[in-house]
């Protein structure tokens, strides 16, 4: 049985003191998390400090990582190896905001996945369609194309720590949420497509998270779907009560 993951993506939110207080409150409840993997991805400035104070029940992840794993003149970047050296265990790659605001392509994202794997960091690969692509009926084709381009060149054995996060772009930060039927449909299609590329055994064990405006009111229903293995949580991860309620819903 696949172990659920609830991952909090804080994006560019929280000054140092409030970030520390929120993280400490989450960690204070960590003994109640049961068999759920909880990951927090704070702004990169806080990664090292959070990793030092994390509990065994709370993993630290980065919101992005460099495609380069060698040291060098890459101003403003940090490598997956550096992330690991701080105690970080996960890195989000290919988030829709990185694609939209920074022009990241699937080819670049594939290099970031490779950098993560080489440094033994677990990549959380994001994929998803825009509202226009959903309404035109191209959502399945778009997501399959993203996955195909980003994961080509890898073997199933190399990708055994990969997590996929399906994020309908039209449901991120908009208050809109895919229905449970829409979420399950896309997650099942992703699993089937991955199965066609890497085999049924690999696809059966791979975890797929939902990443579109998941909140306490809909988390339990979403997480009850056969192919939804948890969530990549944005806004709701910035409130301790909401985030803890979502973790509880995954248990």
Would you say residue 172 has pLDDT above 80? no
Question: What's the rounded Cα separation, in Å, for the pair 22 and 229?
Answer: 24
Would you say residue 179 has pLDDT above 80? yes
Q: Is 235 marked within a binding site? A: yes
Share of the chain above pLDDT 70, in %: 98
pLDDT band at 175; cut points 50, 70, 90: low
> What residue spans define the domains of the chain?
5-65+128-250
Q: Is 11 marked within a binding site? A: yes
What's the whole-number mean pLDDT along residues 140-158?
96
Could you say which architecture CATH assigns to the domain 5-65+128-250? Alpha-Beta Barrel (3.20)
Would you say residue 81 has pLDDT above 80? yes
The string of pLDDT tens digits covering residues 64-79 is 999 999 999 999 999 9
Lowest-confidence pick of 23-27, 124-128, 209-213, 220-224: 209-213
Tell me which residues are annotated as active site.
Answer: 95, 167
Would you say residue 174 has pLDDT above 80? no
User: CA nearest 131: which of 96, 100, 170, 175?
Assistant: 170
What sign has the CA pseudo-torsion 244, 39, 181, 168? Answer: positive
Would you say residue 132 has pLDDT above 90? no
Q: Is 88 marked within a binding site? A: no
């Amino acid at each position: 049985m696949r172990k659920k993951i609830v991952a909090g993506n804080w994006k560019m939110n929280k000054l140092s003191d409030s970030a520390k207080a929120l993280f400490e409150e989450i960690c204070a409840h960590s003994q109640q998390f049961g068999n759920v993997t909880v990951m927090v991805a704070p702004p990169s400035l806080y990664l090292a400090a959070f990793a030092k104070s994390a509990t065994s029940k709370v993993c630290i992840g980065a919101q992005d990582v460099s495609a380069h794993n060698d040291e060098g003149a890459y101003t403003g970047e940090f490598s997956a190896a550096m992330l690991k050296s701080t105690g970080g265990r996960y890195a989000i790659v290919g988030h829709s905001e990185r694609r939209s605001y920074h022009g990241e392509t699937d080819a670049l994202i594939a290099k970031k996945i490779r950098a993560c794997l080489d440094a033994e960091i677990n990549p959380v690969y994001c994929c998803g369609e825009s509202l226009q692509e959903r309404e035109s009926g191209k959502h399945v084709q778009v997501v399959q194309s993203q996955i195909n381009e980003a994961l080509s060149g890898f073997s199933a054995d190399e990708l055994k720590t990969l997590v996929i996060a399906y994020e309908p772009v039209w449901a991120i930060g908009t208050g809109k949420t895919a229905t449970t039927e829409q979420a399950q449909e896309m997650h099942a299609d992703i699993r089937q497509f991955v199965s066609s590329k890497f085999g049924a055994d690999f696809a059966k064990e791979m975890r797929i998270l939902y990443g579109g405006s998941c909140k306490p009111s809909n988390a339990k229903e979403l997480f009850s779907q056969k192919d939804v293995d948890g969530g990549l949580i944005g806004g709701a991860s910035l409130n301790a009560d909401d985030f803890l309620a979502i973790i509880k819903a995954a248990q």
